[in-house]
Each structure stands twice: as structure tokens, then as C-alpha cells.
Structure 1
């Protein structure tokens, strides 16, 4: 796998604000996400974690301030766990291949097939590649979503509550894969979560969104009080 070489700063937010009628979600948020970082984003429900992700993905426009992305930045996105019906017809391999054309694997080019095999290996799905996705475990399904997010060589991987609804051992298994991608490939990670045990164990830095302010810093400096009021 390869990660493109970009500016050291992938995301720069300056006095970023977003409001809806009668509701201020983000106010004067300023931070930078550097290439190779692993940033944990925490906060109570409603303080703007998913809103920040949507701003980064350009699904929303800020009400004030600026959010700047490095030119040519490619983003992979892993959503919260979504169960798939047991009768879903595609194999894990074919599901990952949908990222290219929306067609099943036989219609992919040789280069695309090789890339599917590469990302399956990177997330530990090679041995079960031909298993129907509907019969896979929750962790295996989430790894398949992770593989889809990696297929186009992203510079930034966003995990938006991607470990929610998984059991503790499966959460760690998924985050171990993500941490390896961060350490070995320098893939930049933005991890949104309520799980403070995972936040304290995996990210290098934190961004703690609160109703009237925010804090950011090294993960070892995250105050003990951050757990209070969060779902863990």
C-alpha cells in the first residue's frame, strides 16, 4: 500500500463555526491535523463530532471561519457498524471490489483485482475472501468496510464511531489493524469515538469538543475528567 506525500498539514481549521437555526454546533474551533498523526475526537452527543466529519467531507459548509484541506487530499471513510442481511449475495472480495465500479469482481481490471487482494491482506481478510459477507462476523464486516475505505490509497482515514456496537475484543482487533497502518505506512487517522478506553490506548493526540469550548493535546495529557458524561 502507498500513502501520497502531501503537505505536513492535512487539515487546518481556523475559528471554524457552524450553526443551524436556534442551535450553535461548533464555535471558533481551531486545530491542525498533521500527516502521520492519529487523532482521537471525543465529546458528548450533540457537540459537533459528526458535524466536524461532515465539514471535512464537504457535506456541510461552515457558517464562519475556515477549514482548509491539503491540495489533492484523498479521504477514506469508515462508518458506524451497519449490519448486513445474512442473504446478502456478495462475497467479501466482491463487496470490497464495489469500491471501484459498483460491479462484481470479474469486471475489474487486473490492477484493480490486485488492489482488492492487497487491501484484504492488509486488514486480515485474505483467508475468508470468498465467504458471503452476510455470513461474516460483525468484526469481519467492519474490516470489509475498512478495506473499501483503503482501496483508493487514501491519505486520511476517518473512522466515525466505527467500533460502536462491536464487542470489546473485536474493537481492539479492528483498531490494531488501524494502528499498524498508521505506524507502518504513516496513514493519518481521525478516530471519532465515545469509547475512552480505546481513545486512551490508540491515538497520539486528542480533540475534546465541549458545549462552549474545546481542548486539544497529546493523548497522555488528556484529563481524567474526559470520561465524565461520555458513553463508554
Structure 2
């Protein structure tokens, strides 16, 4: 498979500490990868680097020439009285032109994104009164409007219940397979990483490792990432 993304000898840090030194990895087109690590190791910073919001101090980040990025944020608690419907919320990612209405092509793109995220039947539901899973699917639909081939899920399953996490990641897996969509899934949830991604990139202070998820040793992971032990 072709590399959609290659990170070569990347170094980056802030004035008080270095986050990465000689970080090198690649993401194959159509792959699903987990980005994991304890808080403070630089997961969010790496996402900002990949999105062009920050720039490497040394090394390089290279994408396929036709790369299109979609971004799904962490779950946000939206007020129940939020006035927009799911469809209208998804449409907020449009209207980049000077006239205040949606073109025929834009309406078709919204309909397609709603269909891909299984929201067509719920499109007129007020977003504020939708379930947590429907809200995250609305963010996912927004990301799909640009027809991306690279999708970043930035802790998009955090704060969701177990069943909703599984539902959302099953949908993302379907999109990965049907659209050949490359996915980078930022998460603390090792179970989801093992169930839904092919490989993981683990960041630890001053180090990193990238391996197939079936080789993941959960017991060797940072304690913050390990499942809580039940008290007998």
C-alpha cells in the first residue's frame, strides 16, 4: 500500500521541554492507527503538527499530493435548547462562498454525508436533544463533507458510554473499508484500539513505538492507560 503520510525524523518541543526527538513513522493509505499515550506526552501537539497548526523544529511531515483531511473532535455537551437541527449543524461546514444559501451540489454533499453516518432519518432532530452518539455522528458527517481520505478522530469517543463508543467505531470502520479512508484515532481506550485499529503509535516521554495492535502488551502500557482493576 502507498503511504498517505510519512513523518521523518521529527523533533518538536516547547521552551521548557522536548516532546519528540527523531520521531519517524508512516501511515499507509486505508490503514487504521491508534495514537495512544498518557496525558502530557504530546498527542494533541502531534495532531496540531499534522494539521499544519504547528511546524516541526526539524524533520518533515509529508502527505500524498491529493490528501484531504477530515477532523472529528472530542464529545462536547451541547445545550438541549441549541436551535439547529442535525442537518443544519452539518451544513455549518459549508457556505465558504459569499452568498448565504446552499448550492445544489452542497445539498447533495450533505445528503450523502447524512446517509454515510446513518443520520438521514434523524436529520430534522434538534441537535441539542439528540443522543451523544448522534451528536458525534453529526461531527463525523461534518468531517465527511469535504470527502476526505484522511480522518483524525481526536478522542472522539471520550465521555461516551461503552455501547455508543462501539457503535461509533463500528461506523468509522465501515467508512474505512468502503471509502479506503485512512484513520488516525487518538484514544486512551486500549480495548477500542485493539478492536478497531491495525496498529498503534505509543508516545511516552522521550520515546515512541509503533506496532501492530495484535502485538500490544497492555500490562506494559503506562498505568494511566491500563484498565481499572475490579476490587474483590
Q: Partners in 2 of 1:149 and 1:134 — Cα distance?
A: 19
| Residues 12 and 68 in structure 1, CA contact (< 8 A), matched pair in contact too | yes
- Alignment equivalent of 2:30, drawn from 14, 17, 36: 36
| Residues 196 and 227 in structure 1, CA contact (< 8 A), matched pair in contact too | no
Report the TM-score, using the length of structure 2 for normalisation.
0.92
Report SS of the residue matched to 1:147.
helix
Report the TM-score, using the length of structure 1 for normalisation.
0.92
Report SS of the residue matched to 2:224.
coil
Offset from partner CA, 1:180-231 (integer Å, 9 cap, x none): 0111221110001001110110001111111121111211111233544234
Aligned counterparts, 1:28-177, within 5 A: 28-101=22-95, 107-177=101-171
Report the counterpart of residue 3 of structure 1 in structure 2. Answer: none
Report SS of the residue matched to 2:140.
helix
Q: Partners in 2 of 1:162 and 1:169 — Cα distance?
A: 14
Report the counterpart of residue 188 of structure 1 in structure 2. Answer: 182
Query: Cα offset for 1:87?
Result: 1.3
Query: Cα offset for 1:108?
Result: 1.0
Q: Partners in 2 of 1:84 and 1:107 — Cα distance?
A: 25
Offset from partner CA, 1:118-158 (integer Å, 9 cap, x none): 11111111111001111111111011000000111001000
Q: Partners in 1 of 2:69 and 2:82 — Cα distance?
A: 27
Structure 2: tracts of 5 or more residues without a match: 228-232
Q: Partners in 1 of 2:33 and 2:222 — Cα distance?
A: 20
Are 1:198 and 2:198 matched, yes or no?
Answer: no
Report SS of the residue matched to 1:165.
coil
Q: Partners in 1 of 2:187 and 2:70 — Cα distance?
A: 17
Are 1:213 and 2:207 matched, yes or no?
Answer: yes
| Residues 206 and 217 in structure 1, CA contact (< 8 A), matched pair in contact too | yes
RMSD: 1.6
Moved over 3 A (4+): none
Q: Partners in 1 of 2:44 and 2:224 — Cα distance?
A: 15
Report SS of the residue matched to 2:94.
helix
Structure 1: tracts of 5 or more residues without a match: 1-6
